[in-house]
Amino acid sequence: MTRRASAFFARLIADRRGVSAVEFALIAPVMILIYFGLTEFSQAYMAQRRTGHTAAMVADLVAQGDKTSPTAIQPVFAIGQMIMKPFSADPLAIRVTSVTMGSNGQATVDWSLSSKETILKSLGKDSPIADLPPGLIATGESLIIGETQYKYQSAIKDILPKAIIFERTYYLRPRTVNQVVCTGC
């Protein structure tokens, strides 16, 4: 190697003018990925919270009344869909069920209505409910169960290509009567 070439490489190694640009080029993609990841996490968390709030609100609205019907429950489902805003309500399914604890210690369905039968099917009358938390209701007591399922699709489909399913269940006792009656259910 000639003296001239070694002097050139010595100057090149000692030159610090482009160090900041090189460091930025190495760090910028990582920082941008972190930023978009946190943004996506925040959106998914908000969708999950709204899914839970929808289940609680719909069950609470039904539990406040003394009776309902398939026609009367449609506005309640519409309120649940409005809670999901700014997210689309299309992937949201809501189910409201009334159950009563029998003398045999088995809770059975009195009535059940669903906003989207293809996602959350209504439960059949007198079908057993096995997954109630123990000690929630005593014999002869009634309970309103509000359930939601939301299929969250990320805006960044390259990072999260599959949808995330958020499901929430809330249990509320009827407020003004022992059992909320549904005519025509």
Summarize pLDDT for 130-181 with one digit per residue, the tens: 888 888 898 999 999 999 999 998 887 776 778 899 999 999 999 999 999 9
Q: With a cut of 90, say whether residue 9 has pLDDT above it.
A: no
Name the band, by pLDDT with cuts 50, 70 and 90, for residue 1. low
Kindly state the tokens that stand for 49: 């919270």
pTM score: 0.81
Instruction: Report the percentage of the chain scoring pLDDT > 70.
Output: 98
At 145 the pLDDT is 96
Summarize pLDDT for 84-103 with one digit per residue, the tens: 999 999 999 999 999 999 98
Q: With a cut of 80, say whether residue 12 has pLDDT above it.
A: no
At 4 the pLDDT is 75
Report yes or no: 127 and 111 within 8 Å, Cβ to Cβ: no
Distance CA 19, CA 171 (A): 60
Kindly state the tokens that stand for 171: 């249990």
